[in-house]
Amino acid sequence: YGFINTCLKSLVVEKYGEETWEKLRLQAGVQDSFLTFEVYKDEITMQLVDKACKILGVPADMVLREFGEYFFEFCKRSGYDHMLRTLGGNLYEFIENLDALHSYLALSYQAILFFFVFPQEMNAPSFRVEKNEDGSMHLHYYSDRRGLCHIVPGIISAAALDFFNIEISMEIVNQTEEEERTGKKEHIVFLVTQNPVFSYKERNEYSSSSQYLADSEKQVEKQLNKEDLEKAKNTFRERGSSVCPVKKSHWKTIRGIITLGKGKLLRGFDPVYPKSLWIDTKTFCNGLPFHMVFDKELRVKQAGVSIQKIVPGLQTTGICLDHYFSIVHPEVPFTISSIQKFINSQFVFQTRREMMPESWKQRPMLELRGQMIWMESLQCMLYLCSPLLRTLHELEERQMHIADIAPHDVTRDLILLNQQRLAEMELSNQLERKKEELRILSKHLEEEKKKTEALLYAMLPQHVANQLKEGKRVEAGEFKECTILFSDVVTFTNICAQCEPIQIVLMLNSMYLRFDRLTTVHDVYKVETIGDAYMVVGGVPVPVPTHAERVANFALGMIIAAKGVQNPVSGNPIQIRVGIHTGPVLAGVVGEKMPRYCLFGDTVNIASRMESHGVPSKIHLSSSAYQCLKYKNFEMTERGEIEVKGKGKMHTYFLVRNKTATENEIMGRP
């Protein structure tokens, strides 16, 4: 299910950042988000774990353990906290009831299985725990999926510390291919040992009060009747303490089972049994309509009335139970020894189709779920069970009724409640899908917005475009000093006369793409292009003191870039003229339908004259531009006085090169 992949994503984002997750998912080739109740292939999860190990440079067992610890917290945050806390009063009971929790969640959520979330048609892992005399325990872990066992220590350790305030260590002591469970599941045996976790304050209090406790112990023991004390000790030993119990002092043992000064047992309990069973056989079989009793050879000794009604073969005393049922969970052979080994697990039986009455042949097979109880005195096994039904639809499919289930059986309520729960889940799924669709649409919208903004910013300066988007009026601004450049293609008119229009378009496009890249390299603003004329400015719309140097370097790059553009007539590289002038301008937005950011002033005219009176493949400078570049590591040569149309005589110069920058630096190459 997507729940586990969502958790893995959350872990990576929270611990390593969004960029690491993006890199991880791209390398794994998976989507960015997962629907909680959607079924995904196991390969997706395994691929994510594998790539995480490579990207983070961490061994798989460490990644899985960290994931286990985080998954426990993630499940708590997802609403499973109270459910988990009620599983048991100590770690042993907690682990012992994990299979029961799996079974419940499979029933309630249609196979949303806690700890390792797998679809119903895939078997959930199973846990079996054994106490050892030294206070440690062996945890047996069975799973269809190999290589995920290292998640277990992470989850169990987190649960032990959070719920029971104990630190545990877990090590693998055995790892085999389990022949006993069909399908050759992986069988891992962990040795679990624990130590108490004391706060600093608790350690100090314990240390300072040790003498007081020793004195109090003597006084209390005098007040206790010796017989009661021994009885209390024996009862306590029989009941056992918490799983992997920590060694306690004699005083702590006494204090845990008595009330000081009264000698009343708090935990000692001896049940009272009647001398004979006050219930007749008929009432028992009617009151527990789905129970079965069978011996070591699996011969049926008795069965409840409802299960007899569904499986008439059970009315024949002594028939073999495995002829009529198969074990679905846990996946063990149908033998008394296998059942005894997993006696703490919930057992699911399924009727065999070939042994059912003709009326059941076309119906789904009935499944029973319940617990096994070994009766030592009778050498028989009691199977207390109920029909495993999730919804009213499943009840109807088997042509059964609520009345077939005993009034005391909570399966009645569970079916009705789960019907409502499934409806809520379906609504939740729909909302989650809509949310995901909206997220994707929002992402696409954001991408389109960026494209639109990029196009807008290519036409107008960013701050001007933002003002226009906000509906504000853009006031014209005066810039006291900037540097303007004009360029054009030499003999452009002749080229146009001898070529097809498409050839001219391709030539200009090739040239302008090169020039546009250079505007980014040297951070100058492209004002406009008209035909073969290209106009840029430095120091507008954002004033900078290095405007002249930027435009000069851009001009040098233009001359180099133009050599890579072919003249469609001659086949030789095209030649361009470049003119540069420095001075004040007025800048503002003109028009509403197709607004343009335009420059006005005599500086524009003079820059244009520098270009038109220039020389092919040369950069023509006005005296003001020369003065700005004079001490900036540029090589320039004097042209002298020339007659400029509308301006009279002007002293001009040619820009030759940048003394400190290489050609690659000018062109922005690596």
Peptide bond into 616 cis (omega under 30): no
Question: Are 552 and 661 found together in one domain?
Answer: yes
Of the pLDDT bands very low, low, confident and very high (cuts 50, 70, 90), residue 37 is: low
396, 487: one domain = no
DSSP letter for each residue of 173-219: EEEEEESSSTTTEEEEEEEEEEEE---HHHHHHHHHTHHHHHHHHHH
Domain count for the chain: 3
Chain Cα centroid distance, residue 548:
52
In a domain? residue 227: no
What pLDDT is stored for residue 224 in this prediction?
Answer: 44
How high does pLDDT run on average in the chain? 82
Decide if 373 is inside a domain: yes
Q: How far apart are CA 631 and CA 654, in angstroms?
A: 15
Does the pLDDT of residue 220 top 60, yes or no?
no
Whether the Cβ atoms of residue 349 and residue 327 lie closer than 8 Å to each other: yes
Pick from 196, 212, 245: which residue ends a domain? 196
What's the token pair of residue 201?
């304050």
Asked whether residue 513 carries a pLDDT value surpassing 80, the answer given is yes
User: How far is it, in rounded angstroms, from Cα 554 to Cα 570?
Assistant: 27
Q: Which region among 262-276, 484-498, 580-594, 612-626 has the lowest average model confidence (pLDDT)?
A: 262-276
Q: What is the pLDDT of residue 106?
A: 61
**pLDDT over 70 (residue 237):** no
Query: What per-residue confidence (pLDDT) applies to 258?
Result: 47
Query: What is the rounded distance in angstroms from the CA atom of residue 644 to the CA atom of residue 247?
Result: 105
Q: Is residue 468 part of a domain?
A: no
Which three-class secondary structure state does DSSP give residue 300? strand
Task: Compute the distance between CA of residue 284 and CA of residue 268 in angstroms, rounded to an integer.
Answer: 31
Local confidence band at 212 (pLDDT 50, 70, 90 cut-offs): very low
Write down the pLDDT at residue 248: 46
For 230-291, the DSSP string reads HHHHHHHHHH--SSSPPP--HHHHHHHHB-TTT--BSS-------SS--S-HHHHHHHSTT-
CA distance 484 to 604: 7
- Once rounded to an integer, what is the mean pLDDT over residues 38-65? 83
DSSP annotation of 574 reads: P
Q: Of the given ranges (41-45, 169-173, 361-365), which has the lowest mean pLDDT?
A: 41-45
Whether residue 436 is contained in a domain is answered as no
* Mean pLDDT value across residues 81-99: 85
Cα 491 versus chain centre, distance: 62
Q: How far is residue 579's CA from residue 555's CA, in Å, rounded to a whole number?
A: 9
pLDDT above 60 for 346: yes
Same domain, 489 and 388: no
Q: Output the domain CATH number for residue 507.
A: 3.30.70.1230
Q: Are 608 and 647 in contact (CB under 8 A)?
A: no
Domain that includes residue 577, residue range: 475-667
Percent of the chain with pLDDT over 90: 36
Q: What percent of the chain has pLDDT over 70?
A: 83
Radius of gyration of the chain (CA): 42
Residue 109 banded pLDDT, cuts 50, 70, 90: low
Q: Is the pLDDT of residue 180 over 90?
A: no
Q: Is 41 within the bounds of a domain?
A: no
Q: Are residues 539 and 646 in the same domain?
A: yes
Q: Is there a single domain that holds both residue 393 and residue 488?
A: no
Task: Name the token pair of 62.
Answer: 């460490």
Over residues 400-427, the mean pLDDT reads: 81
* In the predicted structure, residue 205 carries a pLDDT above the cut 60: no
Regarding whether 289 and 187 lie in a shared domain, the answer is no
Do 485 and 624 lie in one domain? The reply is yes
Q: What is the CATH number of the domain that holds 142?
A: 3.90.1520.10
The per-residue DSSP string of 115-160 comes to SS---TTSPPPEEEEEE-TTS-EEEEEEESSTT-TTHHHHHHHHHH
pLDDT(266) > 80: no
Query: Which DSSP category does 616 fall into?
Result: T
Same domain, 310 and 400: yes
* 335 has a pLDDT exceeding 80: yes
Give me the mean pLDDT over the 531-552 stretch: 93
Q: Which residue has the tokens 């991880």?
A: 24
In the predicted model, is pLDDT for residue 242 greater than 50? no
Write down the pLDDT at residue 16: 86
Q: What phi and psi values does residue 513 have, to the nearest 5 degrees? A: -60, -40
Torsion of CA 313, 319, 322, 325, to 10 degrees: 20
The whole-angstrom distance between residue 67's C-alpha and the CA centroid of its chain comes to: 11
- Mean pLDDT, to the nearest integer, of 625-645? 92
Tell me if 38 is assigned to some domain. no
Model confidence at 116: pLDDT above 80: no
Average pLDDT over residues 416-432: 76
Token pair listed for 122:
């895939």
DSSP of 32-100, one letter per residue?
S---TT----HHHHHHHHHHHHHHHT--HHHHHHHHHHHHHHHHIIIIIHHHHHTS-SSHHHHHHTHHH
Model confidence pLDDT, tens digit, residues 60-71: 888 888 888 888
Domain boundary among 137, 172, 196: 196
Domain boundary among 133, 163, 196: 196
Say which range, 176-180, 254-258, 266-270, has the weakest mean pLDDT. 254-258
3-state secondary structure 83-103: HHHCCCCCHHHHHHCHHHHHH
CATH code at 292? Answer: 3.30.450.260
Average pLDDT over residues 530-549: 92
With CA atoms as reference, report the closest residue to 550 among 577, 523, 582: 523
In this structure, the chain runs to a length of 670
Residues 295 and 163 occupy one common structural domain: no
> What's the pLDDT band for 1 if we cut at 50, 70, 90?
low
Question: Who's near 189: CB < 8 A, 6+ residues apart?
Answer: 138, 139, 140, 141, 172, 173, 174, 175
Asked if residue 253 is part of any domain, the answer here is: no
pLDDT of residue 134: 86
pLDDT-based confidence at residue 577 (cuts at 50, 70, 90): very high
- Residue-level pLDDT at 473: 78
Please report the DSSP string for 335-383 in residue order.
Answer: SHHHHHHTTTSPEEEEE-GGGS-GGGTTSPPPEEEEEEEEETTTTEEEE
Please classify residue 36 by burial: count the beta carbons closer than 10 Å to its beta carbon, then call 0-12 exposed, 13-18 middle and 19+ buried.
middle
Residues 661 and 528 in one domain: yes
Contacts of 198 (CB under 8 A, 6+ apart): 206
Clarify whether residues 396 and 482 are in a common domain: no
Residue 266 covered by a domain: no
Q: Are residues 394 and 533 in the same domain?
A: no
